[in-house]
Structure 1
């Protein structure tokens, strides 16, 4: 399945809830968040139906996201249904890690391919400040258990914010040296509450890290995403940089997204897309769904417009609603 710019779409990011058990200040902040009514969110069977169609169209990789996916009570049922779909070769998870430890045996057994854990600080007090209410020890315990269970791939996603956690850059780098964990620095995106904070470009991070460690660039592509990876000599893990702001990587985009209420998003930052839930609940057949998805993806935008003024095409909702 290709779009009009000849990009092969093989990766689906599937948000299964807009709810979260944290209130990170650059995501939701202290805003009064109104969550979707439960009857508006896709059911496990509806999720499976959508995944089956995407698999028929050539998608092989699914990433389960939120909100925080592990707060959904039927999380395991959803994963089992996705895993039962032929031709889906990868199931990945992005989580904040708070509820992760108890699900790790299940995820190991079902063959999870990778787990991305959002973790912006290793300091207890700062973690509570950033997340609003989180317990850092729960996340660290989950990481320790994941390593003990030899989960296939463990990645930490870190957003560096000036004046907050920018003193911990080398602490995260050292984690990649000690453990088989990939550390990924993601530039702060000006979405939702993130507009109120100043991030650090990955160019600045690479320059800073290079003063302390010799970074060896990995030229082969690792994984399905846009991260550019480096390695420190004798390290057990890698260091990745995801640059949505400083270096537009949209020409390599191979993904689309489904929001919790079943809206097919063609770009994270764009309003463009189509409501798949309406097609399913109106009892149209699978071929209608397949044709709708194929036609929508053909017109996937060439690139995001975060570096330009809002022309009315931006999705201005908070990240928990758009399945970042």
Structure 2
């Protein structure tokens, strides 16, 4: 799938649920949110059908997200279904890690090839402040369990909020002794995230360079997206940065998103795309679905304008509705 700006779209992030077992301050209110009716959420069969058509069009990589994807029942069954699609090269998962210890084994057996764990601090007090839950120990047990599978790519994603005690260097230290890629992700100004000013990539680089010395750029490809990676001396893993606002990478964007309710979303900022659930449930043929997906890709916006205060976000969906 080549869009109108010459970008090859070969990667889709699929949200399987808007439900989550944490209440992170930059994502959800403390009391939770009004969740989608189960009938409005795509079935595994519908997701598999959409993926088959997208793979026919050129998608090669799928990441399953939420909400928290592991709260959806029998996620391994979806992985098995997707694994059978000829031409789909990679299925990965983004999780908050709370349930990872229980499910990583069955997911690996089903065909998962990589896991990203969202973890913003190693301080139990700050973790409780950010997530409004006291489950850091379970997350760390999930990471330890995932490390038992040497063929699985393991990444830890941190949103550096600048909160006292967040201690991002301690997170970076996870990559020193372990085959973990620790990535620092710039806050996207969507929903509750607009209230926070994250530390910038340059600020974090300065901190880590002072701590570790020279940060050597990593030339090999370590993921599906735009992260840039560095490796201090004697590190088993690496340090990555995803800075979508301050270091804009729209010209290299290779992804689209599918919400849990079946909207094919072609840009994080804008309400552009197609309601595939409506088409599916209205009886659209594979050919009709493929045509609408192709049109949506061609209409993919050139770039976001999150940094421009004159241009407001046009999509009212929150991140738990879009998919992380």
Aligned residues: 323
Cα deviation for residue 151 of structure 1 reads 4.5
**Cα displacement (A) at 1:75:** 1.4
How far 1:149 sits from its partner (Å)?
2.6
| Structure 2 counterpart of 1:13 | 13
Q: Look up the match of 2:101.
A: 101
Unaligned runs of 5+ in 1: none
Which residue is 1:125 aligned to? 125
C-alpha distance 31-305 of structure 1, shift in aligned 2 (>3 A): farther
Shift of 1:312: 5.7
CA distance in 1, matches of 2:232, 2:107: 29
On the 8 A contact 2:120/2:157 being kept in 1, the answer is yes
Deviation at 1:308, TM superposition (A): 1.7
Task: Give the Cα separation in 1 of the matches to 2:201 and 2:165.
Answer: 14
Unaligned residue ranges in structure 2 (runs of 5+): none
SS in 1 for 2:211: coil
Confirm whether residue 181 of structure 1 aligns to residue 180 of structure 2: yes
**Alignment-derived partner of residue 247 in structure 1:** 247
Q: TM-score, normalised by structure 2?
A: 0.96
What are the equivalent positions in structure 2 for 1:289-308 lying under 5 Å apart?
289-308=289-308
Instruction: Give the deviation of 1:191 after TM superposition.
Output: 1.2
Q: Distance in 2 between matches of 1:198 and 1:289?
A: 40
TM-score (norm 1): 0.96
1:222 shift after superposition? 2.4
Separation in 1, partners of 2:73, 2:30? 25
The equivalent of 2:199 in structure 1 is 200
Q: Report which stretch shifted further, 130-139 or 15-24.
A: 130-139
Native 8 Å contact 1:112 1:151 kept in 2: no
Deviation at 1:111, TM superposition (A): 3.0
Q: Tell me the SS of whatever aligns to 1:287.
A: helix
Match of 2:154 in 1: 154
Cα distance in 2 for residues equivalent to 1:265 and 1:39? 20
In 2, Cα distance between equivalents of 1:256 and 1:268: 9
Distance 2:113 2:61 in 1: 10
Residue in structure 2 matched with residue 235 of structure 1 by the alignment = 235
Aligned 1:1-324 pairs, distance under 5 A: 1-30=1-30, 32-166=32-166, 168-213=167-212, 214-309=214-309, 311=311, 314-324=314-324
Report the secondary structure of 1:212's partner residue.
helix
Cα distance, 1:284 vs. partner? 1.2
Tell whether the 8 Å contact from 2:42 to 2:277 is kept in structure 1 after alignment. Answer: yes
> 1:206-238 CA distances to partner (integer Å, 9 max, x unpaired)?
112111212111134322111000001121101
Structure 2 contact 52–85 (Cα < 8 Å) conserved: yes
Measure, in 1, the Cα distance between the counterparts of 2:118 and 2:186. 13
Segment of structure 1 superposing worse, 214-223 or 245-254: 214-223
Query: Would you say the 8 A contact 2:13–2:256 is kept in 1?
Result: yes
Q: CA RMSD of the aligned region, Å?
A: 1.4
